[in-house]
Amino acid sequence: MTDISDLPPVDVRPESEACEAPTTLFATLKQLGPGLIIAGSIVGSGELIATTKAGAQAGIALLWLILLGCVIKVFVQIEMGRHTVVHGQTALAALNEVPGRLFKLNWIVWFWVAMMLSGIVQLGGIVGGVGQAAAIAMPLTGDYRNAIRLPSERDIKWMLTWEEAIANNDESYAKLSPQEQVRIQNGTGRVREQLDRLGERGEKAV
């Protein structure tokens, strides 16, 4: 009969991966810090704006969706955490073992990739929304606003160079394609229009 002590452990992992439980306040905060940051980043414009608007328009008709989402969210996260603690395997690696392959990855992992890519697009909208809110709360006025209205020195030099090339029908301009010539004409016209709107200040900049 085989002795139980001779059997290999259920989950073989290097001992160096096991961490001792924190005993001090600083060590506890160090362990909880990354999780708190991620939890805070999850609460975004959707929770603060979209759900509030949906509740105002639909009333309690969508209350079942909130309850269902809370139940699923809690239990899925609990089981994923238990799986990670017991097997030392991340949630994404565990999902990759679910039946159903598309190329070399599981279909759930491909959904995760699509979600992350769409999240990047969402970040652009969030940044734009924050900028609009900041502009409403703290509108740009005074010298700072006047400073950013003036084209940069590089743009002014670029405009003067190409205006001279266009006026003299320079070879560097003539050899460009019609599309590039139109692009340069539009660009120089835009910078010149900005300078003209500034009046005397624009003339001094030139």
Rounded to an integer, what distance in angstroms lies between the CA atom of residue 122 and that of residue 161?
A: 40
**pLDDT attached to residue 15:** 55
Q: Is residue 126 part of a domain?
A: no
Rounded to an integer, what distance in angstroms lies between the CA atom of residue 163 and that of residue 155?
A: 12
Given the DSSP bridges, would you call strands 105-106 and 101-102 parallel, antiparallel or unpaired?
Answer: antiparallel
Q: What is the mean pLDDT of residues 92-116?
A: 79
Q: Domain total for the chain?
A: 2
Residues 148, 201 within the same domain: yes
**pLDDT attached to residue 12:** 52
Q: Identify the residue with better confidence: 170 or 4.
A: 170
**pLDDT attached to residue 194:** 85
Residues 106, 168 within the same domain: no
Residue range of the domain that includes 154: 142-205
**pLDDT attached to residue 31:** 83
| pLDDT tops 80 at residue 143 | no
Q: Is residue 65 part of a domain?
A: yes
Least confident range of 37-51, 56-70, 112-126, 165-179: 37-51
The answer to whether the pTM exceeds 0.85 is no
Q: Is residue 15 part of a domain?
A: no
Q: Is residue 136 part of a domain?
A: no
